[in-house]
Structures are given as C-alpha cells and as structure tokens.
Amino acid sequence: MFHFFAKNTPANARQDVLSGLTVALALVPEALAFALIAHVNPLMGLYAAFIMALASAIFGGRPGMISGATGATAVVIVGLVVTHGVQYLLAALILMGVIQILVGAFRLGKYIRIVPYPVFLGFVNGLAIVIFLAQLPHFKEKGADGQMHWIVGQPLWIMLGLVALTMVITHFFPKITRAFPAALLAIIVTTLITIGLGQLSPIFDTKTVGDLSSIAGSLPSFHIPDFPLTWDAFITVLPFSLVLAGVGLIESLLTLQLVDDLTETRGQPNRECVAQGIGNMTCGFFGGMGGCAMVGQTMINVESGGRGRLSGIAAGSFLILFILFLSPLIEQIPIATLVGIMFMVVIGTFEWGSINLFGKVPKKDIFVGLLVAAVTVFTDLAIAVITGVIVSALMFAWEHAGDLKIDSSINEDGVKVYRIKGPLFFASTAKFSESFDFRSDPDEVYLDFAESKVVDHSALEAIDSLAEKYRSVNKTLHLRHLSPECRGLLKKAGDLVEVNIKEDPVYHVADELRR
C-alpha cells in the first residue's frame, strides 16, 4: 500500500499542496472584490475561483497555472448583469464555454504564438501596473460624508507596517529555505500578530478579509439557468459570450506563455482552451461568475514552488474548505498581508529589464510595448493585446512595403523586361502599380517574379489589374516565375500568363497560416 502511494504521488507534492494553500488564501479577497465589481453575490466569485482552479488544473494544458474569477471578465459581466440579471449571465457563461471548447477543438489556440514579443512585454508590464493599482483602494476607508478617503495617522502606519513585514518575509525567507512557501509564512505571522496585538490593545486595528464580506457558504448546486429559449435572448447574450471567450482565452494563453518562459517548459494552448471552456460551462450550471487564468495568483504559485497540477487542485480544494468550514479563521487575515503579497507579485511580474531596452531595440518596438501597457491600464488586457498585434502588423507592413524594388531593361529584340524584387503584398501593391508605363511600353513586356514572392490576394489583384491594362492597349504581357496557385487565380489575364513549369517555383500563398 505504501509503495502504491509513493509511486503515484507527484515528486513535488508537498510543495504543490503548500503552494496551493497560499494561492487559495490570496484568491479569497480577489474573488470577493471581482464579484462586487460584477454586481453579483460574493459567493459567486468564490464558486468561480473554486471551479475554474479545479478545471484548469485537471484538464488544462499548463500545470502550475491558476485560474479563477478575474477583473478582465468582471468588467464585461457587469453590463449584462445590470441590464438582464444573473440568469442571463449564467446562460452567457455556458455559451462562452462552448465557444472556448470549439477554439481548442479546432486547434486555434496555437495562434497566440503570433503575438510579437513587444506586445507580450507590454502586456506583462501593464498587468503589473494594474495589479498595483488594484491594491490602492485598500488604503481607503469610507468617511462620515459617505465618500472614500485615504487612511491617515495610526491606521495608515499599521497598514504600511504589515505590508512591509509581509514583503520582507516573502523576499528573504526563500534565501533561508524553500521547503515552506514564504507567502504562506507571511500570512501566518502577520495574522497572529494582528490577532495578538488586537487583543492587547483596541488601538491596534486593521482591516481583514472579513471586512470585505463573509465567505461562509455551502457547496454550489446544479441549476439550469432560468433563461428564455428565444432568438432574442440568444442574440442578447451572444455578444457578451464572444467577448468573454476572447478576453478569457487571451489572458489565459498569455499567462500560459509567461509560465512557459519562467519554467522553461512548454504548455498546450489548445488543451488549455478546452479546459477554460469546461470551467466556464460548469460555472454556468453551478452558479459561478466565470473567469480565466490569473497572472497574479499564477505567479504566487510558481514562486512558491507549485509546478504541478496538484497545486491547482489543492488551491481549489482549500478554497471550498474555507467556504464550508474555515471562514471564521480566514476572515481574520489582514488585508494588508494580501496587499503585501500582491506587491511582491507586481515586483516579480514587471519586466524590469525592459527599461534597459531604450536605445537598444527599434523605436517601433518600444512604442508598441508602451502602447500595450497603457491600453492595459486604461481599458483591459484583451483590447490591449489586440491593439498591439494590429499596430505591430501595420508597422511591419509599412516597413517592408519599401523592400519592393522593380528594375527594367530592354533586350536586343525590343522586349522590355521588368524584374520584381521583394515581397508583393497589400502594403506594396500601390508602389507596384505605379511602376509601369503601359502606354509607352513596347508591344512585348515581361514581368519576372524570380526574386519576388506574391504573398496575398491583394498582390494577385494588382497583377490581374496590370494585365488588364496592357490588354486594353493591345499589348502582350508575359508573367514569368509565378507559382501555379498565382496563375490559377489570375483569371482575367487568360493566355497572357506564360506557363513554364521548369522555371516557375512552387510555394504556397500564406502557407504558414494553412498549417
């Protein structure tokens, strides 16, 4: 019996369990805060954290990654909840899950690899700033006028002291030993100090998890959303489901890529898409608010030594134990402790080396990184990443449009030969079209594509249009060294296309996207 358990227990089991406990403690205030942002019951945030953590750990493609209720999805959810209620949200989550599963099933998750590195840097740095800013409201309290004000005096010093102590323990304890997660030790020490000094002196008072909301509850139960099965209702939730699916997958897959870099291993994006879909569908049927991967909690897990699936399973399991049995204890954890842990996450998440890139990498890459970071802070992660990818693509296209060169000469037979050099694609078609004088050219004209590659349909249309211009003035245009695909698409050129199988290369338009 002992041999069986020893054989089937992960080598890092102890560290995974302790790391999962640390993550679960950090998940509680985050889940409560995001539930309040989304205007749903706080228990919906906790249920989502429990369900998403388990689904990602069991079915996901990235061991060690933590999922739960997130701010990125909460800001999308709130619009649907306010206008149509929680039942519409649950239906939207089920549809969201279906979409994410389909993305994984059709193996579309791999396209996260086309995100340029400057976009990834901007995403990470912007996220670090967002996590930092999300902690600042904990330094405020409601005044007599009903408005939130910054805390001052002794409460502020107590708060800062606990934050500093947490950060000191989290930073220096791993230098002594990594056998016990530093963040968990910080939670235990600061909680005991708070309880002890609070009993000795009523002056020593600080906000705790219990001040946000009670986390006591029962197990989530199965429930089919009370949602009208009509076309109008479907059209109402569809846009929200699409946005939620996109936001969730972008944040999850970028988090997966981040953990890949930290652990020097390779995750499975498509499998993670399916796992996220399973988690969100389950949330829809069991009353969670949905979610996705969480960079902050994932960083806590990885830094605490949690590298296996057991860490995520432990995090979800501990979370449900908190809800069922341990809520009185968990509610005594100081908010300042969790703020200190998150500040350490900010320090670990921010790519400090990116500051040294100024003057060492192209200015366009610096611009893209700063743009993505700024959009992340002021909007959300999905919009930031999409914006960064689009801007990067447009800048790349603009830069490489100038690589197209066209030389011409007239041979001894009076035939004019144009030699096309460089890629012909949508950004360079204007230059291509302006490089020919079809009215003044001789009756016989050759276009040689031996040193060029026709990349997209815009390029094919430009060639097609040029062939029509020469035909309109009764001149013959020969196109040489085009691939069979290009010749097949040039319908209007007809017999003007010179077929020479021995000379013409074989390559596929947008071949990389077909794989």
* CATH code of 436's domain: 3.30.750.24
- Does one domain contain both 339 and 464? no
Yes or no: say if 374 and 130 are a contact pair by the CB < 8 Å rule. Answer: no
Band (201; pLDDT cuts 50, 70, 90): low
> Minimum mean pLDDT among 105-119, 321-335, 468-482: which range?
105-119
Cα–Cα distance measured from residue 184 to residue 84, given in angstroms and rounded to the nearest whole number: 40
Residues 453 and 505 placed together within one structural domain of the fold = yes
One domain, residues 421 and 305: no
- Does residue 1 surpass a pLDDT of 50? no
Tokens 């994410």 correspond to 100
Q: How many CB atoms lie within 10 A of CB 285?
A: 18
pLDDT, tens digit (0-9, with 9 covering 90-100), for 207-238: 887 777 778 888 899 999 999 999 999 999 99
Of 331, 351, 371, the one marking the end of a domain is 351
**Judgement on whether residues 393 and 410 belong to the same structural domain of the protein:** no
Same domain, 389 and 408: no
Name the residue type at position 43. L
Q: Mark whether 347 and 383 lie in a shared domain.
A: no
> What CA–CA distances, in Å, run from 174 to 115, 220, 310?
34, 37, 21
Mean predicted confidence (pLDDT) in 379-404: 81
- Same domain? For 60 and 84 the reply is yes
What does the pLDDT look like over 167-185, one tens digit per residue? Answer: 999 889 988 887 777 888 8
The token pair that represents 354 in the structure block: 């990116």
Distance separating alpha carbons of residues 33 and 245, to the nearest angstrom: 21
At 225-284, the pLDDT tens digits run: 999 999 999 999 998 898 889 888 888 988 898 888 888 888 899 999 999 999 999 999
Q: What is the identity of the amino acid at 497?
A: V
Examine the pLDDT at 3 and tell me if it is beyond 60. Answer: no
Q: What are phi and psi of 441, to 5 degrees?
A: -65, 155
Domain of residue 393, residue span: 356-400
3-class secondary structure, 404: coil
Cβ distance 20 to 317 under 8 Å?
A: yes
Kindly state the percentage of the chain with pLDDT values over 70.
90
pLDDT, residue 8, reads: 42
Residue 193: burial class (beta carbons within 10 Å; 0-12, 13-18, 19+): middle
Q: What integer pLDDT is reported at residue 207 of this predicted model? A: 83
Checking if the pLDDT of 508 tops 70, the result is no
Partner residues linked to 2 by β-bridges: none
How many other CB atoms are there within 10 angstroms of residue 107's CB atom? 11
pLDDT score of 491: 54
Contact (CB, 8 A) for 45 and 214 = no
**Over the chain, what is the mean pLDDT?**
83
Cα separation of 115 and 110, whole Å?
Answer: 10
pLDDT of residue 293: 92
Using the predicted structure, report yes or no on whether residue 112 has a pLDDT greater than 70: no
In this structure, the answer to whether residues 406 and 392 fall within a common structural domain is no
Question: What is the 3 state secondary structure string of 338-367?
Answer: HHHHHHHHHHHHCCHHHHHHCCCCCHHHHH
Average pLDDT of the residues in 145-171: 90
Confidence of residue 103 (pLDDT cuts 50, 70, 90): very high
Interval 180-192 mean pLDDT: 86
- pLDDT at residue 500, as a whole number: 42
pLDDT number for residue 58:
95
Q: Please tell me whether residues 421 and 380 are part of one structural domain.
A: no
Identity of the highest mean pLDDT range in 69-83, 183-197, 343-357: 183-197
My answer on whether 422 and 501 are in the same domain is yes
Do 107 and 167 fall into the same domain?
Answer: yes
Q: Are 134 and 377 in contact (CB under 8 A)?
A: no
pTM of the shown model: 0.69
pLDDT of residue 488: 60
Local confidence band at 313 (pLDDT 50, 70, 90 cut-offs): very high
The pLDDT, as a whole number, for residue 489 is 56
Q: What's the confidence (pLDDT) of residue 10? A: 60
Structure-block tokens of residue 461: 């249309």
Predicted confidence band of residue 467 (pLDDT cuts 50, 70, 90): confident
Least confident range of 29-38, 417-426, 474-483, 486-495: 486-495
The least confident of 146-150, 160-164, 267-271, 356-360 is 356-360
- Average pLDDT value for residue range 33-52: 87
The Cα 131–Cα 296 span in angstroms is 8
Q: Tell me the three state secondary structure of residue 226.
A: coil
H or E element, residue 316:
helix 309-321
> How far apart, in whole angstroms, are the C-alpha atoms of residue 490 and residue 445?
17
Does 512 have pLDDT greater than 60?
A: no
Question: What 3-state DSSP class applies to 206?
Answer: coil
The separation between the first and the last C-alpha atoms of the chain, rounded to the nearest angstrom, is: 48
| Whether residue 246 is found in the same domain as residue 376 | no
Residue where a domain terminates, one of 400, 417, 432: 400
> For residues 305 and 311, what is the distance between their CA atoms, to the nearest angstrom?
9
- Matching residue, tokens 């972008």: 250
The domain total for the chain is 3
Q: What is the pLDDT of residue 437?
A: 86
State the pLDDT at residue 343. 87
DSSP sequence for 411-430: -TTS-EEEEEEEEESTTTHH
Q: How far apart are CA 61 and CA 56, in angstroms?
A: 8
Task: Work out the angle between the directed axes of helices 231-263 and 269-286 (0-180°, nearest 10).
Answer: 130
CA-to-CA distance for 512 and 509, rounded, in angstroms?
8
Q: For 37-104, where are the E strands, in sequence order?
A: 67-68
Q: Tell me how far CA of residue 299 lies from CA of 73, 209, 343, 384, in angstroms.
A: 19, 21, 12, 21
